[in-house]
């Protein structure tokens, strides 16, 4: 526990454990992961931040197509680039924890998919998500994309207003057996 006593007080560790799904030991492990991304001169600086590019050095996040969106959602740092402090990182990892509830995960999944932040998931958001998932940031063939958007809306847009609200989105996720397994990271 030498590292924890020099970085976190007992009270801080207990508080982090109380507000997350992590044990004190797991919080220390998360700090080690986070601080491994920092330059050595910053390795004990709890105010230091990491960029989405830095986070790709972690095997758990390297291939995540939504890493930029995750950083945007969880960043509390006011800047052009969404960087994460340790507390932001801890919040993100808490939501992605195996122990996080469906309600918590679906709330953040909605925010991640609501790329234009208009409070709904609309055709533009779906187009962006498809680009992230397929690796075609410029989009797929327009006819294929439109067909995909139409199919998703036909299936999920219960009130037929051409956008998904939170409850419609949660309804779709509740029918997806893979959601809880795919929206997690093991530490």
Give the DSSP per-residue string, 20-59: SS--HHHHHHHHHHHHTTS-GGGTT-TT--B-HHHHTTST
Domain 2-95, CATH homologous superfamily name and number? EF-hand (1.10.238.10)
pTM here? 0.89
Letter string b/e over residues 2-41, b meaning 16 or more CB atoms within 10 A of that residue's CB: eebeebbeeeebeebeeebbbebebbbebbebbbebbeee
Average of per-residue pLDDT across 158-173: 95
- Tell me, what's the pLDDT at 138? 64
- Stretch among 18-27, 102-111, 126-135 having the lowest mean pLDDT: 126-135
Domain spans of the chain, in order of start: 2-95, 102-182
- pLDDT beyond 70 at 1: no
Average pLDDT, the chain: 91
CA angle 92, 116, 134 (to 5 degrees): 75
- Closest residue by Cα to residue 47 from 88, 12, 79: 88
CA angle 51, 133, 76 (to 5 degrees): 30
pLDDT tens track for 56-88? 999 999 989 999 999 999 999 876 778 999 999
Q: What is the CATH number of domain 102-182?
A: 1.10.238.10
**% of the chain beyond a pLDDT of 70:** 94
- pLDDT beyond 70 at 116: yes
Q: Do domains 2-95 and 102-182 have the same CATH topology?
A: yes
**Whole-angstrom distance, CA of residue 108 vs CA of residue 112:** 6
Average of per-residue pLDDT across 78-107: 93
């Amino acid at each position: 526990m030498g590292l924890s006593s020099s970085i976190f007080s007992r009270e801080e560790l207990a508080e982090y454990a109380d507000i997350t799904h992590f044990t004190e030991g797991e919080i220390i492990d998360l700090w080690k992961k986070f601080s491994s991304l920092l330059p050595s001169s910053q390795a004990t600086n709890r105010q230091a931040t990491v960029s989405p590019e830095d986070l790709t050095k972690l095997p758990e996040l390297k291939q995540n197509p939504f890493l930029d969106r995750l950083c945007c959602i969880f960043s509390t740092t006011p800047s052009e680039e969404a960087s994460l402090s340790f507390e932001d990182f801890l919040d993100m990892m808490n939501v992605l924890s195996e122990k996080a509830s469906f309600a918590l995960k679906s709330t953040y999944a909605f925010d991640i998919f609501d790329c234009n932040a208009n409070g709904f998931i609309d055709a533009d958001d779906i187009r962006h998500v498809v680009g992230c998932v397929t690796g075609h940031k410029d989009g797929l063939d327009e006819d294929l994309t439109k067909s995909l958007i139409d199919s998703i809306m036909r299936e999920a847009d219960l009130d037929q207003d051409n956008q998904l609200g939170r409850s419609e989105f949660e309804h779709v996720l509740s029918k997806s057996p893979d959601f809880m397994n795919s929206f997690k990271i093991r530490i």
